Chains A and B, each alone.
Chain A
Amino acid sequence: MHAHFAQPIQAAAAAAVAAAMAVSNTSSTSSTSEAHVSTPVHHTATKAEWMEAIEQQRLERSTLNRLIINYLVTEGFKEAAEKFAEEAGISLNNVDLTSLDERLRIREAIESGRIQDAINLINTKAPELLDQNRQLAFHLKQQHLIELIRSNLIDDALTYAQIHLAEFAEEEIKMRQELEKTMALLVFDKPLESPYGYLMQISHRQQVANEINSALLIYQNDESESDLSMLVRMATYMQDKLDQKQLRYPKLIDIAGGKLEDS
């Protein structure tokens, strides 16, 4: 587990090093200007130099552990967080484990298709959330509709849409379009294979679960995204910036595996 999570951190450090080297090596390129076709391609470093620069970055084990715990806590993996904390000798005193538990139960309910249970749990934990965020409320109810269609309860699905989702369709065009796509699933014999089959995928449940998880974190005034996710986004952003300047550098081509491109 340590090796699996360490790579992205090194990758982020690598991207930071690349950005610094790019700026210092290409004095003719302004840091704010866009790359032009006529700008010559500059090499920032060889792969060996790159790896050496990465090795020089001192990242303490405690920092890495904290990043991992932060990820597990933010995503709601309570058991994993507790076990890891125990092994790494980290205290979870400042973490609200009850709240984490609640978010986990909500996530599990959504990912197993028990949307009404999830709604009930959300309304207990965060009674203002679904009133304050119509989009969230819509996505949850849309998912419930999808589950009814998946179970082939067509009459129930039609009634549910009419009673609980019509108001959203009247309010906003995007929601109406989403609802139309969902209702279109009823037309197909094999909805999973239809153009809107992606709604029936398990990944759609996960998408809703992630959305709810982020919203709950913000509702309780926590960071909605783990530091690790932000680092990965930063690494991607910095690589994009370097690419725009047509700079050659050992690009991180597989963030999960920490694989660098041969330069």
Chain B
Amino acid sequence: MPSYDDDVPTQEEENLLKQLRENQEEQQRFRVITEVKNLVIGSKRCKTAFYRVGTIEILCNLLQEFSSIDTNSNDLLIEIIDCISSFAKSSNKKIVDRLMELGCIQQLFRLLSSRTDSIQLCESSLRCLRSFFLPKLSSTMFSKVDYTNPFLTPISFVLLCDQHTQKPPSLTTQTPKLVQLPSFEHYSPIEILFEIPQSLDVLLHLISVSKCAQLSIVEILCCLCVNNERQKQLVDKDFIPVIFRLLLQNISEKQQQQQNSKLCSINLTNEYIIGVCLKFLCSLCHENASIAQQLHDTISSETNQTLCEVVSSLLSKIHRPVVISYYASKFFVNLCKTKVLDADHPSVAIESLSTLIHLCTKSILNKCVYLHIECLDTLIYLLNGNSILHKNATYTEQLLNKLFTYIFTPSKVLDEQIDELLLVQIRSSALTLLAVLSSYDEEIKKRIADEENLIVTAIECYRMPHVSLQLAALRLFHGLSRSVHQLRTTFNDTICDILLDAIKSSDLDIVKISSCVISNIVLEFSTCRTRLLNGGILSILLALLTHTDHDLCINSIWALRNLSYLSTLKIKQDIINGITVDRIYSLLERCTDEQFLICLLSLLRNFFDEKDTNALLILFNEEKLLSTLQRLREKTHPEEIQRELITLIDHLNSNNNSSEQRLSSDSVGSSCRTSLFADYTCDEMDQLDCS
């Protein structure tokens, strides 16, 4: 069969489109547009074929023409808008771009400002607008939505999957802080909306039109929270009190509905509005401390309840649809990650944490595999950097056992067949969450490492052709590597070979994660050290010192520092020869990167331990070194650097180079990055103890 990409309209379809171009009386026009709409909806082929012959241009012209006519053409307008809406849902970027080029979004806003007489027209326009903003998921994902399951939100959840920039970093290899704006010629719908004068005022005004309108508007608002600037613009327009009021109103209606036993059928619109309001609040305060604080301090003028109290009340049980419970939890997660709430606050440590764990471990509660993955990712986001929650999370075996199931037999997550790509996602997220849990507490680390077949499975995952799985496996190794006991027991030759392979990968993220692991397993007592040295790790690390990626440079100098600790003279000499004395001096004089400088100074400190000081000082010229360090001391460096300098200078000056004068390598300070993931420093995590 021919590929529909190359299709043009059939003869019948061409005849129909010809009628569309003709200027006819309204009733005839209505019939034709309806027929075009019925062909386009649900058909990728028709969308592409009709686009190729200029149907979109005709529709946009008709939209403009009939928007400005005073006569009652609402029904015809609704047909035109529903047709355009279908095109806007296309996964064909050219179609959506063309619609934007033709000014469709602007036209819809003009219509929404001027024609407020018809609720149906308003709802249709808002649905069309929403179609531009929602992520275009693959058809495979769309076809998997279970419409027979009342515990599942239907389209709303799938379409409200977080924008790429809002996802926790576990699933994105590089999380951009700002939306990558497309090229100058192609605006994103978000940029277009913010350029339209008073667009937000229009949305604000329409929020009271109907429940359907509320859903569409708040869903659009969720999509607008792409960066701190946009979040602020929404807050400046006073959306917080409006959405809070909407939230309270729908919670109240929901409670009344539940109390009214005479009802013959239950409508879930209130619940979906609650869910989407919560999602908006989550999106608004994501990675935005000032807005998070503002939300924390928000009080309802009608009920005197704080927003936190209201959201907390939604966590008293698992709701249907379960996205209410999910987004209520995520709200407190976001407040915690912005430091507005402490990690041990009950709303975080007890309510949100337990809700998220329930949602991703009990398939009887949550039958949506996407939500399982979202919960895992949110747990990763919460627990990474909040080690005091790790014990809570693993208090019962519930979470750990489920994570092992996800990794070993992911198809048993739900009693249904799951797409292969989703299985990969589940495994990646589960492995990454295990990595986070294994990164701090020794008992948890041991529990995880001792799980039968886990390490073997992690090795298999690294060997699979999916980058997300490879990264997740490496992260698990990183988490486990932060333990003296694990370095002596778990890390075998196979893992060494994997790391030697990964550090040479063409994928930067894989190189970075593997360098994090290597920086720990090169330590003196590690079983992997010799194999790594024989595998040429020294030359690899030296080469990475000049890499353009800053994190990789830091990891490399950190690894060299650890390699030099309690090392033989030969290794120290090899490191010095590899970097070169001149370059070391140059870095000392000119380096402005504080993290790098700390690592370099502690590297020098490791060189000049008791037994090798005299042998290595000859290479450096003691006088020159001391004067360079002294000059460095006179600059206004932070305390950690000053401390390192003092220690080093004293050490070089002193005749009694006793070990008590040396600070342990890892008590230097938390500014040296030890966190699991590139983008998050983790102040609470203790550094590896080498004293």
Contacts and interface: CB of A to CB of B under 8 A. Distances in A.
A4 B38 CA distance: 41
Given A140-B42, A163-B10, 7 more contacts: A63-B261, A70-B264, A90-B262, A94-B263, A127-B37, A128-B86, A223-B266
Interface string B136-150: 000110110101111
A223 to B, nearest CB: 5
Contact of B264 (A92, A120, A137, A162): A92
Interface stretch (B178-186, B187-195, B267-275, B543-551): B267-275
Given A131-B89, A132-B89, A120 B38 contact: yes
A208 to B, nearest CB: 13
B262 A219 contact: no
A73 interface: yes
A164 interface: yes
A47 interface: no
Contact of B143 (A95, A128, A135, A169): A135
Interface string A51-89: 000000000001100100110011000000000000000
For the complex of A and B, the 5 pairs showing the least CB-CB separation, nearest first, are A130-B42, A137-B42, A221-B269, A127-B82, A218-B154
5 contacts: A119-B42, A170-B3, A171-B143, A221-B269, A224-B148
Given A123-B38, A223-B150, A166 B4 contact: yes
A213 B120 CA distance: 22
Nearest to B45: A167
A133 B265 contact: no
A134 B268 contact: no
B268 to A, nearest CB: 5
Nearest to A128: B127
Interface string B327-340: 00000000000000
Interface residues of B, number: 43
B41 interface: yes
A46 to B, nearest CB: 32
Interface of A: 62-63, 66, 69-70, 73-74, 90-92, 94-95, 119-120, 123, 127-128, 130-138, 140-141, 162-164, 166-167, 169-172, 175, 211, 214-215, 218-225, 230
A222 B267 contact: yes
Nearest to B154: A218
Given A69-B264, A127-B85, A224-B148, A164 B143 contact: no
Contacts of A164: 43, 45
A63 B630 CA distance: 87
A90 B42 CA distance: 39
Contacts of A127: 37, 41, 82, 85-86, 124, 127
Contacts of B272: 221
B159 A166 contact: no
A127 B84 CA distance: 11
B34 interface: yes
B34 A66 contact: no
Contacts of A138: 143
B1 interface: yes
B167 interface: no
B148 A73 contact: no
B57 to A, nearest CB: 21
A215 B264 contact: no
A172 B89 contact: no
B43 A167 contact: yes
Nearest to A161: B1
A163 B45 contact: yes
A223 B268 contact: yes
B139 A172 contact: yes
Contact of B41 (A69, A123, A171, A220): A123
A175 B140 CA distance: 11
Contacts of A170: 1, 3-4
Contact of A219 (B43, B140, B155): B155
A22 B42 CA distance: 51
- Tell me what chain A mostly uses at the interface: helix, strand, loop, or mixed: helix
A221 B267 contact: yes
Contacts of A73: 264-265
B1 A120 contact: no
Given A94-B263, A214-B148, A132 B142 contact: yes
B446 interface: no
B44 interface: yes
A132 B1 contact: no
A210 to B, nearest CB: 9
Nearest to A179: B1
A73 B265 CA distance: 8
A191 to B, nearest CB: 21
A74 B148 CA distance: 13
A123 B264 contact: no
Contacts of A120: 34, 38
Contacts of A230: 150
Contacts of B268: 221-223
A120 B264 CA distance: 29
Contacts of B38: 119-120, 123
A95 B142 contact: no
Contacts of A172: 139-140, 143
Nearest to B47: A131
A95 B97 CA distance: 41
A94 B264 contact: yes
A172 B419 CA distance: 11
B422 to A, nearest CB: 14
Contact of B37 (A63, A123, A215): A123
B147 A133 contact: yes
A95 B150 CA distance: 19
A214 B4 contact: no
Given A219-B154, A223-B266, A167 B145 contact: no
B142 A133 contact: yes
Contacts of A133: 142-143, 145, 147, 155
Most buried by B among A137, A219, A221, A223: A221
A70 B148 contact: no
A222 B272 CA distance: 11
Contacts of B4: 166-167, 170
B44 A215 contact: no
Given A95-B264, A221-B269, A222-B265, A134 B147 contact: no
A67 to B, nearest CB: 9
Given A66-B262, A91-B262, A221-B269, A128 B85 contact: yes
Contacts of A90: 262, 264
B266 A169 contact: no
B262 A130 contact: no
A214 B261 CA distance: 23
